[in-house]
Amino acid sequence: MHNYPRELRLLSSGDFQQVFDDVEIKIPDQRILILSRANGLDHPRIGFIISKKNIRRAVKRNLVRRIIRESFRLNQNNLPAQDMIVMVRKGADELGNENLHKLAKKCWSRLNKKVKNAHSVK
């Protein structure tokens, strides 16, 4: 069962600020950037920042958010207990739905690898 309850979301500005203040892992890509830090919980949480400057139309912003959220929902059991902020860059709305799904999936696996490497170093 893959659901998307409130506890899987970064809801307050304080939640977002904690990630910005203590970024442990960055997953850069041409279209999105994921900032992440351990959250001390037993599940990942996600938040979005999609500016009007990068994607003009609200319909497109919502579509991008919906597709990445769906990918997160389907992969949440494989993700580490991290707070993640997905920052969408210019041009993400030009990718098709399928490509956006692939991009998100690729970013999740890169995040998993980086978290594993960070833990093995400590």
Neighbouring residues of 29: CB distance < 8 A, sequence distance ≥ 6:
89, 103, 106, 107
The pairing of strands 32-38 and 82-88 is antiparallel
Structure tokens at 41: 């919980």
What's residue 1's pLDDT?
52
**Distance between CA 7 and CA 84 in Å, rounded?**
13
Q: Does domain 6-121 have CATH number 3.30.230.10?
A: yes
Q: Where are the alpha helices (DSSP H) in the chain?
A: 13-21, 58-75, 97-121
pLDDT per residue, tens digit, the chain (122 aa), is: 577 788 889 999 999 999 999 999 999 999 999 999 999 899 999 999 999 999 999 999 999 999 999 999 999 999 999 999 999 999 998 988 999 999 999 999 999 999 888 777 65
Three-class SS string for 18-47?
Answer: HHHHCCCEEEECCCEEEEEEECCCCCCEEE
In this prediction the pTM is: 0.90
* pLDDT at position 122: 58
